[in-house]
Structure 1
Amino acid sequence: MFKKHFIIIIAMFTLVFAYSADPKYVDVVTAKNRISALEKTNTDLNAKADSLRTEIKNLEEKNVKNTKQIEDIKSTLDKVNVRSSALYYYAKEVIDVETKKAAMDSYNKNLDLKKKLEAKKEELEKETKSNNEKIQQNTDQICDSLYKVERNTYEIRNLQASIDKTNNQTEYVNGYIKQVDSFTSEAEALLK
């Protein structure tokens, strides 16, 4: 996990330098459309990350409950084992047929309970393991989403800088065109 986070940090560092270059001249309408698309993507990615965080929180809470239940089952299994041993011993030592049969019936019920408890414990352990794997997958997806948001944000900043540069150029050229038009009007007036 550390390795993946390290790679993401390096990639983000690279993005900073990749997008810190001088802005280029762009078609303003196209750039604004691209910015809108990137902002929508960022909104979607942030919503996805929030949803995954909620799912992680729920899975972690479930794991806490599972761990508590597993510990309770282990404690109960210890008691069941002690009682099973005692019942087995009593069943061997008792001479009375009815009492011996009752002890063996109780012993068999205890064994059945032990199997059910062990099966439940195993089920909870598998669920916890599966939850942990899902938590890791979600964490990786969150990191991926956040990386994409950062990448998009840098692209938005670069596009905005390019739009500003293009607008400044357009303003400058339009001012020059006005001067030329004014000069042309004055020159044409001399021709009359």
Structure 2
Amino acid sequence: MPTQSCIKPKIQNISLCPNPEDNLSGYKDYIALALQADVTTMPSRPVYSATITGKDYATAVAATPATAFGSTAVWGKLEVKEGSLKVVTKPKSNFKDSSAVVTEITFEVVDNEDNYGYLMLLSNAPLHTVVEKNNGKMLWCGDAGKAAKLMDVSRENASEKGLISVKIEFGVLSPLYLPSGTTISYVA
């Protein structure tokens, strides 16, 4: 009868190279919000053609060479809980109908009178939202004829006490990347 032996695996101390993409995934810990009526200069969606590239079609066309939204400081900067900001685009109704999509922007903020009062002011108002990715690219949910709406502000759905869960919806159209070099002025 052969003897059974146990072969021990050789454990090596392997140090992995840091992936430069690791810290570029996800979104920064704030969201920019503006009332549609306050946006003075509107970027536009590119026109589809046989020669347009995918990158161009996914990027908004700046209204002026300098900036996408004019120079007026109309944007509010709302700090969100780190890692809670998510932007998801999915079919609007059932999965068989892909003709319409809805983009849900969800995040959590600290429950205090400033944040809660600000969110109540924005409830059901036509909004434009911009979220910045960690690689510096900015995604804009909005259009000249279509705005995003604040749909839900809830203390009960938050991941922990002391936070408010927020959901903004942007229907039919998909978010667009803002042109490179776009800057947004925030209300002081």
Q: What TM-score, normalized by structure 2, do the two folds share?
A: 0.17
Whichever structure has more strand as a proportion of its residues is: 2
TM-score computed with the length of structure 1 as normaliser: 0.17
Pair member with larger Rg: 1
Relative to its length, the structure with more helix (as a share) is: 1
